[in-house]
Structure 1
Amino acid sequence: MPTQTQNGKALEFAFLKSLEKTLSNQTNVMVINSPQLRTTQTNYLSLPQETQQRMSAGADAGINTIIQLEPRLIKGNGSLQLSIQPDSAGQAGDVRDVIGVRSTEGWEIGISCKNNHAALKHSRLSATIDIGDSWFGYNSTRDYFNQVIPIFDELNNMRTKGMAWSQIPDKVDSYYVPVLNALIEELWRLDRIYPGQIPQRLLTYLLGRFDFYKAIVKTRSRTTEIQGFNLQGTLNQGANGVRPTLRMPHLRLPSRFYDIHFKPGSDNTILIVCDEGWTISARVHNASSRVEPSLKLDVQLVGLPPTIFRQTLGW
């Protein structure tokens, strides 16, 4: 059975092929051959034909909307180069999967493709990971490390004994909750040290350095949701006198934390509530059945600005 990663790669191929198919009779399109393109194609072709058809239908619905937002896909000058991003791009702060470039104009757009989920990041927490540096560009405080090092040292001792998480009856109270409390306190500490910077840098870390469209394809309900993250103002531009059919606003990054607290009824998830309409969910979990000296965070946007472009399409 295909993994979530394999399905995600297959969906990237479906979106690239939808762009090529839709645009090739309207503009000069060139698909860049690369190892990552071949990987996505292999994953797509390995799926049952019905699943391929559903992914392609979901991609077609999304691309038809994006074309209405981006007339330069059709009306721009020079060739339109389509490519699949390498996984290393995400580590460098670029969350886009499928890229369209008109190099003669210095213009590009990107699509982040999500198959039946909307997760942003899967970050790790450990005794040695400086979340302040990797998330915000500012070092974590000594107080944070003093809180988390003893917790992860305990987990490391259990790892050396070959223990499984199922052997720890109080893993939530002993490890999940203290680690999340340490994260909450560190966010507030850094916010006091660098006023107005941490909420903005947190969103930049999660969303990347480039404007993009997020396409969430739900094959079971046969819907595609398109979200436009126009933070730098580079999306939704006109081309050669042609204006976009659909319009979208320029979004604002947050500058304040309103509240950071445990999700009601949950002991493994915190909510980070910011101004400008942004709310972030961070769920801690163990990534393996065996105990490891680290924990993972599943980070999602559960609250979006009311002005964000957001359209759900049936197919």
Structure 2
Amino acid sequence: MSVNSNNQGRAYEYAWMTALLELLKPLRKTDVVYNSSYEANERAWNAISQEKQKLYTTSANAAVNTIVELEPMMDENSVDTLLFEFQRDEAGENGDVRDIVIHRDDIDWEIGLSIKHNHDAVKHSRLSHVLDFGKEWYGVPCSHDYWNDINQVFELLKCEKDRGTAWADLDKKEETVYVPLLQAFLNEVTRAYRENPNIVVKMFEYLVGVKDYHKIVSHDSKKMTLIHTFNLHGTLNQPSAVKVSAFEVLTADIPTEIIAMRFKKNSNTTVEIYMDNGWAFSFRIHSASTVVQPSLKFDVQFISTPVSVMNIECKWH
């Protein structure tokens, strides 16, 4: 992710924190946990133009009432304090994809929000000659066969890097780079799954997250904010002592099997993994650099989610 995109994402998170506080402060006792992430997000907010601040505020305000309606525990007027905290970056390394965590200080309850600005990506992961995706994604180190399969590709990329070759000028990159790397990736996941079917759950948690959350995506060009509910463990949408949500957020079953893995039809840059219980993902390989580097990125997107993942469209006013 570029520095500019990262700052815009942080600023949008700050807009959401502000919108939540402005809505809930008149209704109940609230407080903010100040940490390094808060400081970074506040700096990002102050660094963007007033026009962008207005845009992000409009986007957050379009959906903030729906989030509170989804979570009656947030606006319950009790004597305890509703705490808002920006998640530290290290949490994402441990599979917690939430950007804002909201909890109450006297009961065992919390929810999280994953906040995205103008992109729906599930994950941005890397492949390189040293990164062990098997160990990182599902706890099983990649085999010798995998390292042997990718070695020739990355040796080529290292040579082209030393020459200063631009990606746009690299000949036959689909044939010599993308296809062999994607095939090695598919072969390795197939091998690991055959030996240990339990990797499916770990791989899913790496991609989607280990905690329940509402995913919020701003689509500025459509003037729309989307909410996707990832209620994987049944912790979202809890009733308060006085209110039940107008929405019923079902628990989504976590996958336990891989149904199919293949190249996307008519594509040399994307592979697809289909799991049971309605989950499917696409993995598009690409370079994030203009000059050849011995490292490539996956843009991971959902192909499908189960019907129990609620999708709510909130149009801007």
TM-score range, shorter chain: over 0.9
Deviations 1:245-276 (A, max 9, x none): 21111111112222212222321111111111
* Local SS of the residue matching 1:254: coil
Alignment match, 1:74: 75
Query: 1-side partners of 2:150 and 2:234: how far apart?
Result: 39
Instruction: State the percentage of identical aligned residues.
Output: 34
1:2/1:92 CA distance change after superposition, 3 Å: closer
Alignment match, 1:141: 143
Mark the runs of 5 or more structure 1 residues left unpaired by the alignment. Answer: none
Using the TM superposition, give the Cα deviation of residue 128 of structure 1 relative to its aligned residue in structure 2, in angstroms.
1.7
Alignment match, 1:182: 184
Q: Point out the more displaced range, 149-158 or 89-98.
A: 149-158
Query: 2-side partners of 1:18 and 1:108: how far apart?
Result: 18
Using the TM superposition, give the Cα deviation of residue 211 of structure 1 relative to its aligned residue in structure 2, in angstroms.
0.6
State TM-score, norm by structure 2. 0.94
User: Is the 1:254–1:276 Cα contact (8 Å) retained in structure 2?
Assistant: yes
* Local SS of the residue matching 2:44: helix
Using the TM superposition, give the Cα deviation of residue 174 of structure 1 relative to its aligned residue in structure 2, in angstroms.
0.3
Alignment match, 2:286: 285
Alignment match, 1:30: 31
Look up the equivalent residue of 2:241 and give its one-letter code.
N
User: Is the 1:156–1:292 Cα contact (8 Å) retained in structure 2?
Assistant: yes
Alignment match, 2:207: 206
Query: 1-side partners of 2:65 and 2:20: how far apart?
Result: 9
Alignment match, 1:294: 295
Query: 2-side partners of 1:302 and 1:216: how far apart?
Result: 17
1:9 aligned onto 2:17: no
User: Is the 2:29–2:79 Cα contact (8 Å) retained in structure 1?
Assistant: no
Corresponding residue pairs, total = 314
* Local SS of the residue matching 2:261: strand
Deviations 1:29-67 (A, max 9, x none): 101222321222222233332322221121122221111
Alignment match, 2:196: 194
Alignment match, 2:259: 258
Residue among 98, 101, 111 paired with 1:99: 101
User: Is the 2:96–2:211 Cα contact (8 Å) retained in structure 1?
Assistant: yes
Query: 2-side partners of 1:73 and 1:60: how far apart?
Result: 16
Residue among 134, 153, 157 paired with 1:151: 153
1:220 aligned onto 2:221: yes
Q: Point out the more displaced range, 219-228 or 138-147.
A: 138-147
- Aligned CA-pair RMSD: 1.7
Structure 1 stretches of at least 4 aligned residues deviating more than 6 Å after TM superposition? none
Using the TM superposition, give the Cα deviation of residue 241 of structure 1 relative to its aligned residue in structure 2, in angstroms.
4.2
Alignment match, 1:61: 62
1:85 aligned onto 2:90: no
User: Is the 2:225–2:315 Cα contact (8 Å) retained in structure 1?
Assistant: yes
* Local SS of the residue matching 1:277: coil
1:21 aligned onto 2:22: yes
Mark the runs of 5 or more structure 2 residues left unpaired by the alignment. Answer: none
Q: Point out the more displaced range, 149-158 or 78-87.
A: 149-158
* Local SS of the residue matching 2:74: helix
State TM-score, norm by structure 1. 0.94
Deviations 1:92-121 (A, max 9, x none): 211111111213212211111111111121
Query: 1-side partners of 2:212 and 2:58: how far apart?
Result: 25
Alignment match, 2:232: 231
* Local SS of the residue matching 1:248: coil
User: Is the 1:77–1:105 Cα contact (8 Å) retained in structure 2?
Assistant: no
Look up the equivalent residue of 1:228 and give its one-letter code.
T
Q: Point out the more displaced range, 173-182 or 148-157.
A: 148-157
